Amino acid sequence: MHIIVGLGNPEEKYLKTFHNMGFIAAGDVADKLGVKFRKKECEAFVAEAFVKGEKVIIARPLTYMNASGRAVKQLLAKYKTDASRLIVIYDDYDIPKGSVRIRPSGSAGTHNGMRSVIAEIGTQNFTRIRVGIRDPEVNIPIINYVLSEVRKDDYDLFVSACQRAAEAALTIAGGETVENAMTKFNG
C-alpha cells in the first residue's frame, strides 16, 4: 500500500495559491483513478483506490501547511504503513515554476510543511514530488508569495505541472522505482 499526500491549506481562500500545488496534484491523482475524497480521518480528507491491484490512499491534510506532519503521522499509523511507502507532493520555492522534481529522500529545504512531516514521522526517507513555483520576476517575501494566487498567464503551466506530479505519483504507486520515475518526470 502507498499513501500519497498532497500538502496544502484546506480553506477555499487558499484554493488557487502556490502553496496548494500538493492539494491540486492529489486531486488530479484521485481524478485519474476515478475516486473522490469521501472520508475525513486522521485530520485529512481521504480517498481510496487501487493501482495495479494494490490499495492506494490519497490524502489532503486539514491541519494547514505548517502542521501537515500530524496528519501524515496519523495516516501512516492507521494504515500500518512505513515511510518507505509514503509519497508527498508539495510546492517548492527552490525550483523553477512549472518544473517537477522527484527525490527519494532529503531535507525539507525552505518548506515548513515538509519540516513538519519530517519532524512528526522522524525520517527524511520517503519519496517527495515537488512542483516548482519560483518566479524570478517576482520579488516579494516568500510567505507572501506562496500564499498568493497563481497569475492567470501562468495557470496552464501549473495545471500541467500538477498533472505531471500526479502521474509521477501513480507511476511510483504502480510499481516503478523512484529512480525510473525521476528519469521520466524530472525537469
Residues annotated as catalytic are: 19
β pairing state of 54-61 and 100-103 = unpaired
Alpha carbons within 13 angstroms on the beta-carbon side of residue 118 total 15
Cell numbers placing 56: 492506494
Question: Which residues have CB under 8 Å from 84's CB, separation 6+?
Answer: 125, 126
Strands (E), 16-79: 39-41, 44-51, 54-61
